[in-house]
Amino acid sequence: MEMNIALLPGDGIGPEVVAQAVKVVKAVGQKFGHKITFKEGLVGACAIDATGDPYPDATHEICAASDAVLFGAIGDPKYDNDPKAKVRPEQGLLRMRQKLGLFANVRPTFTFPSLVHKSPLKLDRVEGVDFVFFRELTGGVYFGEPRGRNEQGTKAFDTNVYSKEEIVRLARMGFEAAQKRRKLLTCVDKANVMATSRLWRETVQELANEYPDVKVEYEFVDAVAMRLIQWPKAYDVLITENLFGDILTDEASVISGSMGLMPSASLGSNVKLFEPIHGSYPQAAGKDIANPLATVLSVAMMFDYAFDLKEEAEAITGVVNLSLAEGVVTEDIAEGGKSYKTSEVGDWLASKVIKAY
């Protein structure tokens, strides 16, 4: 198969972890006979520094012409500490999602037996946790108008807007995922307070008739925030709006004890985007210590979701499991044992793809 992959390493540790994932993708290409072409673009703080724009047109063109985008991370402390900055790296990410039509963010939470003791939750609560969030990504309060301040600058407002169509397309993905999993869908909203949430609930109730094999539960977002740490095993597929999803997926990311291992996918159009969820981690940038496994698992998701190549995806998850079992890991999960550099883990994984599969 021929594949065009856009690489957006971004900021912080992004370039280092993406470089390791690229080694693994190349190894998969060599092993399974795929012709893979990479094109690199700028996004985030590094793009502002180089061009003044966090998502330059040149980057969009590379992404739009690709089959899949591998994205590292975005963000820089110099912007975080300056609320008055006119351009922000995050605007690049939001524009990229919108322009590429990536309306669904898929964030799984699953456990690795060898790391489950690192969870902040008690072992019996977290062992075997396996759920996935479908977060709406191009609507809601992130994009709603009007937004801004009154003339005196003493009042600020954001607008939360959802159309039925936006809810339907996201919810359908959730229903379809549930059908392939444990057939339980949780619709997360705040229908006791918000009009947008009532439209979500009503729309999902209507759609549920088309998926009689899926059991649907409706829960308020505050209750889910609580139950997610109390009974994380109660969930299978969760669907929710943009802001609730942003908050809950960060909560979900630490439950397994291995945030450095959690991948994600953004779907919605022909071009799909894959990224680790850990962010730019600026303190570690350039030190060759960042954990590359979440990015490597993101390319496993890429082979599965973007190219429907399950065997290749399994080869990648297989070598990641092997690296955990054999302790070829970075210092964050080495637990005082021998640890390896980011680049060494990448080399090891790539060589195992070639040898073991």
- Closest residue to Mg ion, Cβ-based? 246
Using the minimum distance from each CB to Mg ion, give the nearer residue, 246 or 344. Answer: 246
- Kindly state whether residue 69 participates in binding ligand IPM, applying the rule CB under 6 A: no
Residue 242 Cβ, how far from ligand IPM at the closest point, in Å?
7
| Contacts with 244 (C-beta within 8 Å, 6 or more apart), sequence order | 135, 188, 189, 190, 221
When CB distances are held under 5 to 8 angstroms depending on the partner's kind, the choice from ligand IPM, Mg ion, none that residue 90 binds is ligand IPM
Q: What 3-state class would DSSP assign to 274?
A: strand
CA distance 188 to 220: 6
CA distance 264 to 304: 12
- Kindly state whether residue 246 participates in binding Mg ion, applying the rule CB under 5 A: yes
Neighbour tally for 304: CB within 10 Å = 19
| Contacts with 243 (C-beta within 8 Å, 6 or more apart), sequence order | 140, 141, 142, 160
If you search the block for the tokens 């925030």, which residue do you land on?
A: 225
- Kindly state whether residue 251 participates in binding Mg ion, applying the rule CB under 5 A: no
Annotation marks residue 341 as catalytic: no
Record the tokens describing residue 357, joined without a space: 């599969």
Q: Which of 130, 246, 331, 344 binds ligand IPM (CB under 6 A)?
A: 246
Annotation marks residue 67 as catalytic: no
- Kindly state whether residue 127 participates in binding ligand IPM, applying the rule CB under 6 A: no
CB under 5 A: which stretch of 7-15, 95-103, 242-250, 283-291 binds Mg ion?
242-250
Residue 154 Cβ, how far from ligand IPM at the closest point, in Å?
26
**Interface of this chain with ligand IPM, residues 218 to 237, rule: CB under 6 A:** none
CA distance 343 to 357: 21
Q: What 3-state class would DSSP assign to 250?
A: helix
When CB distances are held under 5 to 8 angstroms depending on the partner's kind, the choice from ligand IPM, Mg ion, none that residue 289 binds is none
When CB distances are held under 5 to 8 angstroms depending on the partner's kind, the choice from ligand IPM, Mg ion, none that residue 53 binds is none
Q: What 3-state class would DSSP assign to 6?
A: strand
When CB distances are held under 5 to 8 angstroms depending on the partner's kind, the choice from ligand IPM, Mg ion, none that residue 347 binds is none
Annotation marks residue 222 as catalytic: yes
Please report which helix (H) or strand (E) contains residue 318, including its range: helix 310-325
Cis check: omega of the bond before 232, within 30 degrees of 0? no
- Kindly state whether residue 40 participates in binding Mg ion, applying the rule CB under 5 A: no
Number of residues that bind ligand IPM (CB under 6 A): 4
DSSP secondary structure string, 87-139? S-HHHHHHHHHHHHT--EEEEEEE--TTTGGGSSS-HHHHTT-EEEEEEE-SS
- Catalytic residue (one of 190, 235, 340, 352): 190
- Kindly state whether residue 93 participates in binding ligand IPM, applying the rule CB under 6 A: yes
Annotation marks residue 55 as catalytic: no
- Kindly state whether residue 251 participates in binding ligand IPM, applying the rule CB under 6 A: no
What is Dmax (Cα atoms) for the chain? 66
Using the minimum distance from each CB to Mg ion, give the nearer residue, 301 or 350. Answer: 301
Using the minimum distance from each CB to ligand IPM, give the nearer residue, 173 or 309. Answer: 173
Using the minimum distance from each CB to ligand IPM, give the nearer residue, 140 or 346. Answer: 140
What backbone torsions phi and psi does residue 181 show, to the nearest 5 degrees?
-115, -130
- Kindly state whether residue 90 participates in binding ligand IPM, applying the rule CB under 6 A: yes
**Residue from 325, 306, 319 nearest 346 by CA:** 319
Residues recognised as catalytic: 142, 190, 222, 246, 250
Q: Which residues bind ligand IPM (CB under 6 A)?
A: 74, 90, 93, 246
Binding site for Mg ion (CB under 5 A): 246
